[in-house]
Amino acid sequence: MRHLQQAVAKIDGLALVKGVPAYTSDLDLNNNVLVVKLLRSPHASALIRSIDVAAARALPGVECVLTHEDVPQTAFTLAGQSYPEPSPYDRRVLDRRLRYVGDEVAIVAAVDEASATRALALIRVDYQVLTPVLDPASALDNAELVHPESVHTNFEIGCDPSRNIAAAHAVEQGDVEAELAASPVVLEQTYHTQAQAHCMMETYRATTSLDVHGRLQVMTSTQVPYHVRRHLSRILDIPRNRIKVLKPRVGGGFGGKQTASVEIFPALVTMKTGKPARLVYSRPEAFSSTTTRHAMALTVRLGADRDGSLRAIDIHCLSDTGAYGEHAPTVFWVVGQKTLPLYARARACRYHGHAVYTNKTPGGALRGYGATQGTFALESALNELADQLGMDPAELRLKNLITPGDSHPVLSGSLPGEPARLASSTLDRCITRGCELIGWEEHYPRVQLSDTRVRGYGMAVTMQGSGIARIDTASVLLKLNEDGFFTLSHSASDMGQGSDTVINQVAAEVLEVELEQIVSSSFDLDTLPYDPGAYASSGAYVTGNAALRAAEDMKAQMRAAVARLWSLADGARVDYADGIFSGEDGQTMSLAELAQTLCSFEGMDQLVGKGTFGGETSPPPFIAGFAEVEVDLETGECVVSDYVAVVDCGTVLNRNLARIQVEGGVVMGIGLGLYEEVRHNSKGRLMTDSFMEYNLPSRLDIHDIRVVFEESVEPTGPFGAKSIGEVVCNTPAPAIAQAIANAVNAVNAVNVADVGNLPRLYFRELPITPEKVLLATLGADAAD
């Protein structure tokens, strides 16, 4: 291929490194903007008895102070999802009831930050402090309710706030209980995954104003600009055509900016005052008052024959959605959807449980979106089952994996009675290749380096999706300009993953032009076609397919235009290659000549190609991850000394960007496995609201990460491609957990057969800190 499957640099990479203005705050040049600050609840659960803002309003420089008495009381969700949203409408802009430490109490807008900060200190609030619900294990049917009011849902999601249930779900294929009863080997264990913070470089921010036509203009760092406009329209009760959204470059999101956490507040100030307003979250606010990964407790039951054939997989999930239900049902559903189909050979499978409300920082979308939590639980259980069977965990997986042609009723795209069928996978080759690269046969389960240092080895596999089947629909416009270059317009948010580059590559490949001849436009929603946004790993697959169709449409239009100019019957009689049109009689015309002619009186035809794509399936990418972890038995310190990731993302469209996506995802997974944890104290206050307390892995903590691709060809993808953005963060945690378990066991097993006879210690709760490891090596039962 000319542009694809190459190591193409990001089209904006050099400029961003040089600091060329591109982000929201770079482009926010209004010096007369009001600074917006929010007063937040100091209590996890409370009612506002009274609130006195008179002194704050009287302060010089203060333009606006708003409480729950001054703002619309429309219920809504901030989840960036296609309408109608599955998430419950359980929020209001400001509410008399406060549901977590950090919940919004009042909005202040002033001429400068100092005045706004002083005004916050002058607001007097009389709180009736209530008993908070902090433990998800006791939230269900607790006498204390996070949402005592009724909650609207657009679908039946099992939401029952009278029981603190945000969502409930159950799906089953076959008779799980019967298969478990008939299984010679049964394993049952519970695994805990923690809340994790997004930690993007650019915090949440938005600037609002009224444009020359009196429209509300919102410039925001968001992954979901179209959804932001819809939210503001509903909350402010103004038509969408009166809202103009500008979307600059996004300085990282990882799913956090799929929730519209910030835009509402400056928008209200602008609507109330008529003046520009700006809100930028501090780092503590980004930690405490947006969203996190959902913490979960997952009980896995596996039934198997003694030869390793899986008979039953049963996963029960308790998800902590925190104070509000943004993404609560969908993250919860995805746990089962992205794990159960992996092992399609099992005779029966089930996924069930609840997402519950608690008085803590809300859960939300975060890279991996439920598949991360489900993968840790199921893959850890598979590794334990392999030990119980005395079987190599790689062999156990190869024996039970879904393969091309297999169908599964939980596979994305399935309809009742019509299970979707897998079209592409090289996961078996990923496992085999990963074993070779990590030296699995020579090293597994561990290598003794000294009396106190051991290297353990572990593995895991996972799957994800490519967009949301039968929901995500994106469009791309291609305009041929007067000298032969193209403007490609789309709304997929580039937040560092390089979606602009890949979309341009797809179009350039079809149009047979240089990449520099395509200019990407993705800033102003007034001029851009619809796109669901940067989430659900949809960029390369959904928007990429739309770009392919737009380019094909443009090429057909160009050939037809040449045929008309040459007085030919139709475009089929015109050949096109590398920017040159040729006819049967030897006529030729360059792309630049065509463009100039069409923009003249002679041509009178501005060509605009368009392409729209929405898939009936969501083809899963796959990855096999292998961890080598060096453990210090004296201190419990664990270092991932080598990590091998072998990926099937279909055709690799851009080798540079794909490799970087894998490396970044692996680092995030290592953080989940060893370092990161969102922690609250006994009163519900967040204890990890800065990088001093939140243990994010640094470059010094990351060692070798080796990335290899085992390509497949996905028939529904652009040039055979699938997604890669999310699948890459799911395997490190379970692979690391197995590697550490292998390292700390008391007997130095020299072959796989020995493993089944060992007294085993397992690490079933993340993160696996040095303290937990040290307690395990000292013989404590804290690791179990």
- Least trusted range by pLDDT, from 299-308, 491-500, 711-720: 491-500
Q: At what angle do helices 328-337 and 371-389 cross, to 10 degrees?
A: 30
Residue 166 within any structural domain of the chain: no
Q: Which has the closest alpha carbon to 742: 531, 440, 495?
A: 440
pLDDT of residue 782: 44
266 with 332, same domain? no
Is 80 exceeded by the pLDDT of residue 465?
yes
Phi then psi for 410, rounded to 5 degrees? -95, -10
567 with 458, same domain? no
Please identify, among 565, 581, 614, the residue that sits at the C-terminal boundary of a domain: 614
Q: What are the DSSP calls for 41-100, one per residue?
A: -SSSSEEEEEEE-HHHHHSTTEEEEE-TTSS----B--B--SSSPSS-B-B-SS-SEE-S
pLDDT one-digit tens code per residue, 466-481: 999 999 999 999 999 9
64 with 208, same domain? yes
Q: What is the pTM of this model?
A: 0.96
pLDDT of residue 750: 45
Taking the CA atoms of residue 260, residue 266, residue 267 and residue 270 in that order, the dihedral angle to the nearest 10 degrees is -170
Binning pLDDT at 50, 70 and 90, where does residue 267 land?
A: very high
Tokens of 393: 């965990």
Q: How many CB atoms lie within 10 A of CB 576?
A: 19
Is 70 exceeded by the pLDDT of residue 753?
no
Contact between 267 and 216 (Cβ < 8 Å)? yes
pLDDT one-digit tens code per residue, 630-677: 999 999 999 999 999 999 999 999 999 999 999 999 999 999 999 999
pLDDT one-digit tens code per residue, 377-428: 999 999 999 999 999 999 999 999 999 999 999 999 999 999 999 999 999 9
pLDDT of residue 751: 47
Is 50 exceeded by the pLDDT of residue 783?
no
Cα(262)–Cα(23) distance, rounded to whole angstroms? 16
38 with 62, same domain? yes
271 with 380, same domain? no
Cα(621)–Cα(648) distance, rounded to whole angstroms? 6
Tokens of 38: 């929010």
- Least trusted range by pLDDT, from 188-197, 312-321, 403-412, 565-574: 565-574
pLDDT one-digit tens code per residue, 55-103: 999 999 999 999 999 999 999 999 999 999 999 999 999 999 999 999 9
Q: Which domain covers residue 587, as residue numbers?
A: 473-614
Question: Sign (positive/negative) of CA torsion 719, 414, 467, 370?
Answer: negative
CATH number at residue 642: 3.30.365.10
Is 90 exceeded by the pLDDT of residue 496?
no
Q: Which has the closest alpha carbon to 468: 86, 77, 5?
A: 86
Structure-model confidence comparison of residues 10 and 318, the more confident one:
318
Taking residues 348-358, what's their average pLDDT? 98
Taking residues 282-287, what's their average pLDDT? 98
Question: Sign (positive/negative) of CA torsion 459, 421, 327, 253?
Answer: positive
pLDDT one-digit tens code per residue, 598-619: 999 988 899 999 999 999 999 9
Residue 507 within any structural domain of the chain: yes
Cα(254)–Cα(234) distance, rounded to whole angstroms? 26
Q: At what angle do helices 732-744 and 655-670 cross, to 10 degrees?
A: 50
Cα(350)–Cα(303) distance, rounded to whole angstroms? 12
pLDDT of residue 569: 85
497 with 643, same domain? no
Binning pLDDT at 50, 70 and 90, where does residue 235 land?
A: very high
76 with 205, same domain? yes
Cα(564)–Cα(679) distance, rounded to whole angstroms? 68
Binning pLDDT at 50, 70 and 90, where does residue 781 land?
A: very low
Q: How many CB atoms lie within 10 A of CB 234?
A: 17
pLDDT of residue 755: 46
Q: At what angle do helices 499-511 and 544-565 cross, to 10 degrees?
A: 30
Cα(529)–Cα(520) distance, rounded to whole angstroms? 13
Residue 188 within any structural domain of the chain: no
What are the helix (H) ranges across 566-603?
Answer: 591-598
**Which amino acid type is present at position 687?**
M
Average confidence score pLDDT of the chain: 95
Please identify, among 265, 288, 311, the residue that sits at the C-terminal boundary of a domain: 288
Tokens of 86: 């599955």
Question: Sign (positive/negative) of CA torsion 287, 292, 297, 300?
Answer: negative
Rounded percentage of the chain residues whose pLDDT exceeds 70: 98
Rounded alpha-carbon distances, angstroms, from residue 563 to 146, 255, 734: 67, 47, 60
pLDDT of residue 603: 83
pLDDT one-digit tens code per residue, 755-780: 445 558 999 999 999 999 998 888 75
CATH number at residue 209: 3.90.1170.50
